Chain A
């Protein structure tokens, strides 16, 4: 079946540090890939997505590139801020074998804390 593996947290960084959160996936064919963010006390919000190989999703300074050859979708940001402190979820969307029903499969989430 489909699965998503992302790096275990928590990750603690100082402001303006470089961020990488690794994500790899297992799925047949060509899933769509997503990063969602959950701020404290909130639901999940879409951060960025990519729907085909070599696509780069970007938003709010975050980027992730869909790498089919390594089945990865690592999240990066060049300079993190305190306000980026949140839990980050990697996810994929892929149809069942019948190809007619798409659903999101999430990783376990990575807690990021950015200190001033």
Chain B
């Protein structure tokens, strides 16, 4: 149990669907992150939230829309995705994004397949 829980674990969606990924952390952390993990590529940081405020948006297409209603929950809303968006989406949290050497705790990920 890592303290970061992601649901669903697997998701198959069509290009016209709308779905949401959910992440919940029970660690009392102040920062949460979305990463995309594609085959043969480094992990890509998508979004960073600190104290429920978005502090980083790495040029992610608007078809990905994050939401952080409180410090324990993070969502990634998906709509009109493309097949190349198929990947493992990882949520992470940390005590504070501004502290050097801060460790990130990861969830198990959601394996997304866009058909």
Contacts and interface: CB of A to CB of B under 8 A. Distances in A.
Contact of B98 (A102, A104, A108): A102
B56 interface: yes
Contacts of B90: 43-44
Nearest to A43: B106
A43 B2 contact: yes
B55 interface: yes
Judged by DSSP, the binding face of A is strand
A95 B101 CA distance: 10
Size class of the A contact interface (CB-based, 8 Å): 20 to 34
A58 interface: no
Interface in B88-113: 90, 92, 97-109
Contact of B106 (A45, A93, A101, A105): A45
Contacts of A93: 100-102
Given A43-B109, A45-B2, A103 B100 contact: no
Contacts of B87: none
A41 interface: yes
Given A45-B106, A102-B98, A103-B97, 16 more contacts: A32-B100, A36-B106, A42-B109, A43-B90, A43-B107, A44-B104, A46-B103, A46-B105, A49-B103, A100-B98, A101-B55, A102-B99, A104-B43, A106-B42, A108-B42, A109-B42
Closest 7 CB pairs of A and B: A43-B106, A32-B101, A51-B101, A106-B43, A44-B106, A43-B108, A106-B42
